[in-house]
Structure 1
Amino acid sequence: MPSGFFALLDDISALVKVSAASLDDVPAQVAKTTSKVSGIVIDDTAVTPKYVVGLDPSRELSIIFQIAKKSLLNKLLILSPAALVLGYFAPWAITPILMMGGAYLCFEGYEKVHSMFSKHHHEVHAEDENVETITPEQLEQQRVASAVRTDIILSAEIMAIAYSQVTGQPIINQILVMLAVAVFITVGVYGFVGLIVKMDDIGVHFAKGDYSPAVQRFGRGIVKFMPHFLLILSYVGTAAMLWVGAEIIAHGIPFFAHLLHELEESLANVPAVAWLAKALACGIGGLILGFFIDKIVGLVKKVWPGKKQTQPA
C-alpha cells in the first residue's frame, strides 16, 4: 500500500513537471502570435482614432475606453471560445467566416476611398425629409457601435491566428495563449490610440506650461503636426482595411493564395519590396471587391429601404 501511494505521488509529480514545461512555452507562443498579427494590429490602431474626430475632446478617452472594453469582452467571451469550439468541432467553418469578415473590411475600405473622391459625399440638406437630427450622445453611440463592428472582424482574425499557433497544444496552453493575446493586443492597441488622440492636449500643455523655450517649441510643434498625422493615419487605416480584408479572402481561395505566394517568392531577395508588392496587390484587389459589394448593397437598399439618414444636432 505505501509503495502504491508513493508511486501515485511520483506519477502526479511527473504530470506537474510536464504541465509546467508546457506552460513555459506560453510566453514564446504569445510573442510569436503577436508578430504574426502585426498587420492587423496596424489596421486596428490606424482605423480607431477617426471614430473620435469631431466629438467633444473631453469625451475622447471615454469613447476609446468604451471601444476597448467591448473589444476585450468580445475577444474573451465570444471570439476565443468560438475559435476553440470551431477548431475542435468544425475547423472547416473558420475560413469561410473569416472571409466574410474580410469582405466587410473591403466594403468599408472602398466606402472610405469613394468618400475621398466623391464631390457630393455626406452633403446633408436640412430640408431633406429623409434626414433626422441626432444628439451628440446618439452620435457618440453610433461611433462606438461602428468602431466595435469593425474591431470585431479584426479581432476575429487575430484570435483565429492565435488559435492556429496553438493547434495541437494542450488545451490549457491554448486557453492561456489566446487569453494573453486578447489582453495584450487590446491594451497595446487602445493604449496607443488613447495616446494618439490626446497628443494635441499634451502639446498644448508643453507649449503653455512653465517650461524652457525649447520644450514650448516642441509642444507647439506637436499641436501643428497632429492634424497632419491623424490625416495620414486615416489614409493608412483605409489602405490597411483593403489590404487585410483582401489578404484574408485570398488565403481562403487556393488560387489567389498561390498567386500571392509566387509574388512574394519572385521578390524574396528584396523583402521590403516583396511586402510592398503583396500589400499593393491586396489593396487593389480589396478595392475592386469592395466596389462590387457596394453595388450589391446599393441594389439591396433600393429593394429594402433602411432607416433615415442622420446628422448631428
Structure 2
Amino acid sequence: MRTVYVNGDYLPENEAKVSVFDRGFLMSDGVYEVTSVLGGKLIDFEGHVKRLERSLSELDMRAPAAMDDLLTIHREMVSRNDITDGLIYLQVTRGNPGDRDFHYPPADTAPTLVLFTQSKPGFAASPLAQRGARVISVPDMRWGRRDIKTVQLLYPSMAKMMAQEAGVDDAWLVQEGKVTEGTSNNAYIVKNGRIITRALSQDILHGITRAAVLRFASEAQMEIEERSFTLDEAMQADEAFFTSASAFVMPVVEIDGTALGDGTPGPVATRLREVYIDESLKRAV
C-alpha cells in the first residue's frame, strides 16, 4: 500500500483524508506539480518548485511549506514508496475555510498540501515513443490563465476522452486555427530542421520540460522559432512532438489522420528525447 503525504503526515493511502469543505474540492482552487523520478532521483526538481512558487503567487495563495522542505518531502516519498521510476504528484489548495463561499477564506487559513507517488518501472523506455503518438485536434475551450498550473483539468480530461474515442493517443488544442498545446503537454513541429513552438504567454503552460528541451536544442545548435503555428502547418510539417514531465519528448507521427513524414518518429524528436533523458539524469537530485 502506498504512503501518501497530507499536511505534514505520512499516511497509508486508505487513511488519508481531506475535508469536504476544502476549496480544491469545491472550487478547483488549487495548483499542482508532477515531478518525474528516474533511477530513484528527481528530474528537473528546481524548475518544478520555481513554477509552483509562481502559480501560488499568481493566485495569492499561501505556500504550504518552505520550498527547501519540499525536496526533503519528495525524497522521503521516494524512499517510503520504494520508487525507482515513476512520478510524484503534489497538490496545494487554498485549504478548508469551514464552509462553502466564493470569497477567499481569511488569509491565515492553512493551505492543504498533498503528495502521492505513481510507480512506473522503466517508463523512460516508452513503447509509444518507439512508434510515435497519433493525435487529433479539438477546440481549445479552457479558461484564459493556462500559464498557471491549476487543478482545473476537466476540459483536458474531456479532450483526452475524445482522443480515446477516436482511437488515437492524445489531442492537440486549437484556438483561432492555431495550436496552443496538448491536453497535458507542450506542442512542437519541425520544418526543414527548424523547431517551431508557441511562445510563452498566458495561453500555454510554461513547461519545465519545454524549457529544458529548448535549452538542450540550443546547445546542440538546432534552430528554434518560438511562434504560433496553424493546424495546417502542423499537418504539413516534417515531424512533430510534444513534451511533458511524464512523456519527456514524445514524437508525433499523425495529426487528424494525416501522417507526418514517413509516419515514423522523426530524427529531431528522437534525438531530443535521448538528449533530454541523458542530460536530465546527470542533473537529477
Q: Which TM bucket (shorter chain)?
A: under 0.3
More helix by share: 1
Relative contact order (alpha carbons < 8 A, sep ≥ 6): 1 or 2 greater? 1
In the superposition, the TM-score normalised over structure 2's length comes to: 0.23
More strand by share: 2
In the superposition, the TM-score normalised over structure 1's length comes to: 0.22
